[in-house]
Structures are given as structure tokens and as C-alpha cells.
Structure 1
Amino acid sequence: MLRLTELTLSLHHADEELPAAICKRLRISPRELIRHVVARRAHDARDKSNIKLIYSVDVNVKDEGTVLARFRKDRNVQPTPNTAYKFITQAPTGIKRPVVVGAGPCGLFVGLILAQMGFRPIILDRGKVVRERTKDTWDLWRRGVLHPESNVQFGEGGAGTFSDGKLYSRIKDPRHLDRKVLTEFVKAGAPPEILTEAHPHIGTFRLVTMVESLRATIEGLGGEYRWQHKVDGLDISVDGAGERRVQGVHLANGEYIEADRVVLAVGHSARDTFAMLHAAGVHVEAKPFSIGVRIEHPQSWIDTSRFGANAGNPILGAAEYHISHHCKNGRTVYSFCMCPGGTVVAATSEEGRVATNGMSQYSRNERNANSGFVVAIDPERDYPGDPLAGLAFQRHWESLAFVAGGSNYKAPAQRVGDFLAGRPSTALGSVVPSYRPGVTPTDLAACLPDFAVEAMREAIPVFGRQIAGYDHPDVVMTGVETRTSSPVRFTRGDDFQSLNTAGLFPAGEGAGYAGGILSAAVDGIKVAEAVARSLMP
């Protein structure tokens, strides 16, 4: 089979135009084309009046060798890559079962790959199964009641469950591990088009059923889940040469599990676990993240700005954007985790604090678009010398946001016009905020660092010149966004083990090695393979 890339057609092309374009591109007759399958489809909307669809297509032709020789110097005509996943080994007998801490996207794929190789992992999570966790999360959104161990951050599926369900990243993996992730998701109930769309997504409701299906697969292969099992200590031995090695984990309920292979896939908000690991001497360093707000616009404004007269076309769907600006004060402001047709959600996991995130369903048909509007933070510049200082930084601004919102888990919000003018909002305008349990109009400058406020005020008019309506006075900003990524990195070596603790495998977003569902899952596969290698004779 041949992979033909960068095949461009009109947005409104007829079905028969695709095979005709393949034949024209390969300089073959229609009778020489045996079969074609779309491998990927994207769109180019830089010219709103002439939007193009860009295809990658796998084709069977009658004389493949001759065609390939004809295009041997053309990088857009190549043999179709083999994206099938190959397991590196199967588990030997007589080994201790590896322990996976955390059941988010990373922990889920660590557990799945280990189970598929026969290692029968034990998966621990401080939260609950996904449907019980969903009920607890709605308690915060509907009634302002927080469950500290069962919320947007903690529980089956991790933080990615309550998100846009984006399944793309910027990782370049020659082994196509991202394809393994997407294939397993389709087996678990995801729509098949995630295998071909350039920017696939799933949405929260579908993620819930998929997570349950993957859990059933892992359990069917001998894996074991233990819910509401919070790890609050490590058992680490130190030999005469000073080498540290993990021996097991202590749980908050008093239990102890012996294990010489422990994967830490705890997510970016397990602050108490970060502190425990630091106290246990596990190597950790501060990592950059960002702070800002969620900004909301009517989705129709974004669609029109991006697609012009083609706004609403079902092939294009709800429009997205990605923008950034380098400010005079040396800070970078950028959009983060843009959620078309979605809602802003309460994402705190600690009492007395407010944090926001974005979420959307597969349909992406809610009234507003929302995105993180955030400013990058540099640990060396903003809180040097303490690897855990980023946690205190996040907590400080989340606590101020809690007070500014009314000390009841409502979030502080402000109109863009008032924010630019430096005055508090006393009421909101035509853009209706989606955050629940509600917002309090106020001055967001009271719960953001001065450098962030300065940079955001500079960036808003710049973004307004790129996206019509971005800087409209009634656009709503809701604060604060602090959980863009983990503020720490648990440094690991080439063998994926902690730099100073053998048998301990930091993994995923919480360890500072991923950002988003797909990259976290891919890192989970790599870590599972590393665990398997370390257990082989």
C-alpha cells in the first residue's frame, strides 16, 4: 500500500473527486486504482473564502513498485507505514505484581499494556469509579459542595475525563504509539473517525463509557483496581552503597502493599503526594507552568472569524484557535486548552480554593467557546530555590480567587472592557458565563499576579486583531486558571526510573512528562514497557 499525503480538495468537493485526484496525482488511470482509504483529513482555513480539505490517503494500485519508483524523491508518496503495536515481551512467572498509582490516562495505559503483556498490575486510585466520581463532581457544580478525594482531578479517568477530550498532541513518535492509544479507544467505544480526523476529540460523556470499558479489559486480563486507596508513603530501602530502592507503598487506610516496581501516575494536582515524595527524598525539581483565566466568547463569533461564510459547515465543526503573544515585560501570553462549544468548569480539589478548567461534549454545541488565557511562569524568576514553591504559588492565587468569588466556590469574573480599563465589574453584559456554581462580578486583578495582569492587558487587543470580537467589552473572563500542567517534575533516567530511587517510575502529566490525554497515554505505554524490561531476566 502507498501513503499519499498533502492531497488538497475544495471544502465542497463531490465524493468522486477524491479518487480522481488520487489518479491525477499518481499519474495512473482509474482502472489502476484498486482501493483507497482516508488515513487523515484536515482543513486549511487561512483563506476563509476558499477553505481546503487536506487528505492523507492509503491506496492500492495495480503496479505499486512502478508507481513508487516514479515518485522515489517525493516525500508525499511513500509506502504506508506499519502502525501496528508490537508488544516487547510477555511476563515471566514468579514476579511481584507491579503497582500503578493513579487511574488517569497515563495510569490507565500503564495498566492496560502491563495487563496485555500478562503482568497483572494492581492499580490504586485515591478517588472513586467514574460514575460515582461524576456524581460527586456535579455536587460541586450544582450545589457548591466539594468532595476533596472525588472531583474533577481525582478518580477514575483523571482530569481528562472532564475536559474537551482532545486526542492530539505535538509529539512525534516513530513507533506510532499514539495510534495504539486511538485504536484502544475505538475498541472501547470511541467514534471511529478519531482515527482519521486531524484534531480528534471525544467529550466527557463518551469518555466515561470508554474508561469503564478499558477497566473491564484490564480486569479481564488479570489486573486489579482498588478504589479509594490513597498512597501516603513509600517504603524505600537504602543499601551500604547508598542506593535507594522502593520496596512497597503505605496507604492512608493503614494497608501496606509490597512492590518492587511502582509507577507514579498521580496527575498534576496531587499536591499532598508531591509533598510526600519530596519528604521521602525522591528527586524532584520545579517546572514551568502558567496562570491566568478562562475567557469565553460566543462560539458563533469564533466560527465566523475563522470560517467566514462557511461557518456552520458540519465538516468543519466548531472553530478552534491557537494564539500567543510575547509581551514587553518579557512574559508570553497564550491560549490554552481551547474548548469549542463548551463550558467553564470548577476544577478545584482543595477546600477554600477556586480553580477553573474547560470542558465540552462530543457535539461541541454549547453556546460559548472557552479557552485558557494564560501567562507563562518561570520558576527561576518567580519562585527560585524550592522545588515545591509552585504548589504554594498556585494555592495562594486559588485562595484569593475563592474569596473574590464570595467564599462559596463561585468564581470571580470580569468583563474584558472593565479589565482593560482597570475597574471592577459590577454586572455582566451580553456574553453569559457558563461556570457553575456561578460567578461573582469583581476585579480579577485582585487574584492574579501583577505581571500577569500587565501582560494580559497588553495581549487582549493584539488577539482582537487576529480574531474578530476577541476583545469585545462584554467578553467574560473567569478566574483563576492555575492547573495548566504540573508545577514539578520527578526527574527520571533513560530507563524511566527515578534518578535516585530504583523501581520507582514517575509517569505522565503529574511527573512532568506529558500534557493532555494523548501524550499522557503514550507516556504510559513507554513506562509500562520500561517496567516490563526491568522485570525481564
Structure 2
Amino acid sequence: MLRITELRLPLDHPQDALRPAILARLGIADAALRGYTVFRRSYDARRKSAIVLIYTIDCEMAEEAEEAELLARFADDRHVRPAPDTRYRPVAQAPADFAASGRPRPVVIGFGPCGIFAALVLAQMGLRPIVLERGKAVRERTKDTWVLWRRGVLEPESNVQFGEGGAGTFSDGKLWSQISDPRHLTRKVLDEFVKAGAPEEILYVAKPHIGTFRLVTMVEKMRADIVALGGEVRFGQRVADLRIEDGQVRGLTLADGEQLRTEHVVLAVGHSARDTFAMLHERGVRMDAKPFSVGFRIEHPQSLIDRARFGPNAGNPILGAADYKLVHHAGNGRSVYSFCMCPGGTVVAATSEPGRVVTNGMSQYSRNERNANAGIVVGISPEDYRQDRSGGGPVSPLDGIAFQRVWESRAYELGGGGYLAPGQLVGDFVAGRHGDALARDFGSVLPSYKPGVTLTDLAEPGNGSLPDYALAAIREALPAFERQIKGFSMADAVLTGVETRTSSPLRIPRGRDFQSLNVAGLYPAGEGAGYAGGIMSAGVDGIEVAEAVGLSLLKPGG
């Protein structure tokens, strides 16, 4: 197979234009090309009136000698190379008598993207994992989540953060990542998603996504595959304690008192399992404070973003709804950036604790809602925890959680209770208006957050919705973003607060064998442990951790 990169064609090229373009690029006759597949399709929109599609094509030659001749001819052309082998190869396989050996089964705590792929790979290796998920199965969980959005009633163990599928289920379903991937494990993730019912286009579009409704059925299919391979998935099972003896995991205790014996635990709890982090800290598991970000969700008309990005090609079905990625370095030393941008989506209530408001963004596969939304967030360091915590003293790994809780509780108060979120028009926020000068009605942009948005003062001096340094940095950044996307700081755009759970506020360090540095048999994984930042990277991390568990469990004496 040969791979051609940077094959450029006009946006409106005919459907049958690819084969002639390949033949022309390689300078071969039609009979020499047995077939081809599109490995990747992206676009170059720098000239809005002449947007170009960019293809990466894998070509199969009719004769091996023809392929060798082409490789020699294009030896100095970096855009014609042998196609890499992206097939996944298991690192180990349990013997047929493993199930009868009586050895403790590996346990996966959490069933979000990381936990799903960890459990799936362990099951494919024949290791019959036990999955413990504190929340409910995805359809029951979806009903509980809608109750919060429609009626303002929170179920603390079944919401956007907890339950089958993890936080990624209620998101844009983005399936791309900038992680280093020499083994092509992202391809394994995509292949499994397609097997579970995702559209095949996720295998080749540059920025694949799925959306919430499709993720629900896919998660159920992947669970069924795990069970069919001998795994066990248990819902409503919160881990209350970890039994550690002489620095080795020996078992765990569930909230209902049940004890499980195990020596291999994959910790894939996500970034909001605050009680679990506190338990691990109490048990002496090493963990470190780490940076994360806080801010607001901003909403604009999706049509405004489409026009700014695509010009006269806005609305083209190949391009879909436009996205953006923005960064500004503020004068006070803070970095402000767009986070988890959701084209044609909605802002959602994402809290998991009573009396606190948290926002996130979500899109369906169609991305056809009226508004675009994104987090506009500011970097926060562990040094900020020390600055803002009462009493001073050394930083605890749990201080980031305390920091988040302060601002989530403040948002609940500003919203007026009932999980209403506080909001403000961008024009008022940028101008620094307060009191009677604030708008009390929405303009052309109606916020999508449910249960609802209360217009208030997000930046009241000394009593705002975020630390003053964060508010100042965002106020400076919005007009700067206007220079990149015309209309970004439009007066009627809406800020909704607060976004606090951009990533885990702590990291559980691990070694090259993926085990905790001070507790053997504990495998911190995914977003909650500080090793991923989205569905794709979490899935890849789950695969690598499962492989490490398998190699440990199957080695002699393991």
C-alpha cells in the first residue's frame, strides 16, 4: 500500500474526481491502480472564497513491482510513502484455563471512555474484568440527567459526570486528539466505535465526532461485547475503600459493605469523583495538585461562526458547522483560551453535587442547534490554590477541589437556586457595567442552558463569579478574539457560568508500568488521574493501561 498526503481538490469537486487525481499525482495508468481508500479528509479555509479539501489516500497497486517502482521514483517526495500498518495487535492472551485458575479478576473502577476501553481490551485478552460503575446504565442515567435539566432536580449518583459512558456521553463527542500515537491506538478506538454503530466517516474526517444520542447506543453495544467475552459490568457500585497491604492492592470495599478480592485495579473514575480522591488521599496514595482552568460558556449564533470561518461557503454540507480555537495571553500574565467548542450545540448543567452549578457543552451528531458554544477559560495553577485558600499553608492535592467548590457554590447563589445558572451579556461584561446599568433581558442570542439562566453581574467587584484575575483576563480576551472572528464580542452574546471541570485538579503519578508510584496493583488512568483530556485520549489511555494489567497478570507469578 502507498500513502499519498496533501492531495488537494476544490471543495465542489465531482464525486468521481479522486481516482483521476490519484492517477495524475502518481503518473500511472488506470490499470495500475487496483483500489484506494480515503484515510483522512480535512480542509484549508484560509481563502474563504476558495476552500480546498485535503486528502490522505491509501492506494493499492495492481502489482507489487509497480509499488516498489513508485516508491523509488518518489524517494525524495515526503507526500508519497508506504502506508503504515494501523491494525491493532493484542499484547497477550490468557490461556484457556485462566477462568478456572481461581486468580483474582482485574477490576475497573469507572465506565467512562477510559474504563470502557480498559474493560474491553481486558475482556478481549480473556481476563474477564469486573467493572464497577457508581452511576446507572446509560438510558436510566439519561432520564435522570433530563430531570435535572427540565425540573432542576439533581440525582448525585446519576448525572452528566456519573454513569455509564462518563462525562463524554453528554458532550460534542469529539474523537480527535493531539497525543503522540506511534502504535496507532486511536485507530483501534475508532474501529471499535464503528463496530458499535458509529458512522464510518469517523475513520477519515479530520475532526470526527458522534454526538450524545449516537453515543448512547454505542456504549450499550460495547458493554454487551464486554459481557459476551466474560466480563461483568455492575452499576450502582461506588467504591468506598481500597485495601492496601504492604504497598500492594489486595481488594476493595463497596459502599454497601461488599468486599472484593483483587490485585489489579484500573482507576478510571473521571475528574469529578471527589469522594474517591479523598479516600485515596486518606489511604496514602500519592497524588499531586495540577493546573486546570475555569471560566464561562459563551454562546453566539452558529450562523455568525459559519460566516466568519467559511465566508460564502457557509452551510456547505461537507464543511458542516464551523468550529474555532482561540488563545489570548492577557496583560496580567494569564492565558485565556476556548475549550471544548460545540458547534450547533447547547450549554448543559453538569454538576454532580447539590447546591453547586457547573456548565459544560454538548452537541448532537447533526450539530444543527441555533447556537455555537465554547468554554472561555483561564489557566489556574496550584499556586492559586494557596493564594485563595483560607489559612494559607502548604498545598494539598485536594485543594483544587476545594477551589472548584467555592466558585460552583457561588454560581448556584448568583443563579438564584434551583440549578439556574448566572449569566451576563457580553456587551455588559466587556464594558464593566454593574448595578442598574446591566441588561435584564436577553437580546438576539437566547441561552440554551437548562433549567435556565439568570441575568446578573458575573464580575461584581470583590464579589464576582470567579477570581478577579480570571475576570480581568476574560474581559481583555473577548475583544481580542473579535479580531479573529468578526462578531465574537457582539453585545448580545451570552456568558453562562461557571465552567470549572475542564480537567482533573490533581494527578496520581504512575511509573512506566502504569502503576501508582507507591501502591502496586493500582493503575491510575484517564482524565481523573490526570492522563487524558477527552474521549480519544482517554480511550487510548485505557487501552495502554489494560495492556499493562494483562502483562502483569499473565506473567509467571503475576
TM range (shorter): over 0.9
Match of 1:420 among 423, 426, 430: 430
Matched, 1:365 2:375: no
Which residue number in structure 1 is paired with residue 457 of structure 2?
Answer: 443
Deviation >6 Å, runs of 4+: none
1:69-468 correspondence to structure 2 within 5 Å? 69-92=72-95, 93=98, 94=101, 95-238=103-246, 244-383=247-386, 385-423=395-433, 424-445=438-459, 446-468=464-486
**How far is 1:426 from its partner?**
2.0
Matched, 1:55 2:48: no
**Equivalent AA in structure 2 for residue 408 of structure 1:** G
**Equivalent AA in structure 2 for residue 413 of structure 1:** G
The alpha-carbon distance between structure 1 residues 415 and 351, as it changes in their structure 2 partners (threshold 3 A), is same
Aligned residue for 2:353, secondary structure, equals: coil
Contact 1:425 1:443 (C-alpha < 8 Å) held by counterparts: no
**How far is 1:533 from its partner?**
1.1
Which residue number in structure 1 is paired with residue 391 of structure 2?
Answer: none
**How far is 1:381 from its partner?**
4.2
**Equivalent AA in structure 1 for residue 163 of structure 2:** G
Contact 1:68 1:78 (C-alpha < 8 Å) held by counterparts: yes
CA distance in 1, matches of 2:430, 2:82: 54
Aligned residue for 1:466, secondary structure, equals: coil
The count of aligned residue pairs is 532
**Equivalent AA in structure 2 for residue 474 of structure 1:** D
After superposition, the C-alpha distances for 1:385-440 in whole angstroms (9 at most, x for unaligned) are 22111000000000000000001100000000110122244222110000000010
Runs of at least 5 residues in structure 1 that lack an aligned partner in the other structure: 239-243
CA distance in 2, matches of 1:64, 1:493: 43
After superposition, the C-alpha distances for 1:188-234 in whole angstroms (9 at most, x for unaligned) are 00001000110000000000000000000000000001110100111
CA distance in 2, matches of 1:436, 1:276: 33
Contact 2:531 2:541 (C-alpha < 8 Å) held by counterparts: yes
Matched, 1:30 2:30: yes
After superposition, the C-alpha distances for 1:89-122 in whole angstroms (9 at most, x for unaligned) are 1124223100000000000000000000000000
**How far is 1:382 from its partner?**
4.0
Contact 2:385 2:403 (C-alpha < 8 Å) held by counterparts: no
CA distance in 2, matches of 1:29, 1:16: 16
Contact 2:105 2:128 (C-alpha < 8 Å) held by counterparts: yes
Which residue number in structure 1 is paired with residue 525 of structure 2?
Answer: 507
After superposition, the C-alpha distances for 1:36-62 in whole angstroms (9 at most, x for unaligned) are 211110011011011000000011224
TM-score after normalising by structure 1: 0.98
Contact 2:347 2:362 (C-alpha < 8 Å) held by counterparts: yes
CA distance in 2, matches of 1:99, 1:107: 10
After superposition, the C-alpha distances for 1:483-531 in whole angstroms (9 at most, x for unaligned) are 1000010110000000000000000000000000010000000000000
* Greater shift in the superposed pair: 422-431 or 459-468: 422-431
CA distance in 1, matches of 2:525, 2:161: 16
CA distance in 2, matches of 1:365, 1:473: 23
Matched, 1:496 2:514: yes
* Greater shift in the superposed pair: 339-348 or 372-381: 372-381
CA distance in 2, matches of 1:302, 1:7: 27
Aligned residue for 1:447, secondary structure, equals: coil
After superposition, the C-alpha distances for 1:293-351 in whole angstroms (9 at most, x for unaligned) are 00000000000000000000000000000010111111000000000000000000000
* Greater shift in the superposed pair: 23-32 or 359-368: 23-32
Matched, 1:480 2:498: yes
CA distance in 2, matches of 1:284, 1:222: 33
Which residue number in structure 2 is paired with residue 241 of structure 1?
Answer: none
**Equivalent AA in structure 2 for residue 183 of structure 1:** D
Matched, 1:7 2:7: yes
TM-score after normalising by structure 2: 0.94
Contact 2:385 2:395 (C-alpha < 8 Å) held by counterparts: no
**How far is 1:75 from its partner?**
2.0
After superposition, the C-alpha distances for 1:344-388 in whole angstroms (9 at most, x for unaligned) are 000000000000000000000000000000001111344362211
CA distance in 1, matches of 2:129, 2:54: 42
CA distance in 2, matches of 1:490, 1:57: 40
After superposition, the C-alpha distances for 1:49-87 in whole angstroms (9 at most, x for unaligned) are 110000000112241110111112222111111111000
Which residue number in structure 1 is paired with residue 389 of structure 2?
Answer: none
Which residue number in structure 1 is paired with residue 390 of structure 2?
Answer: none
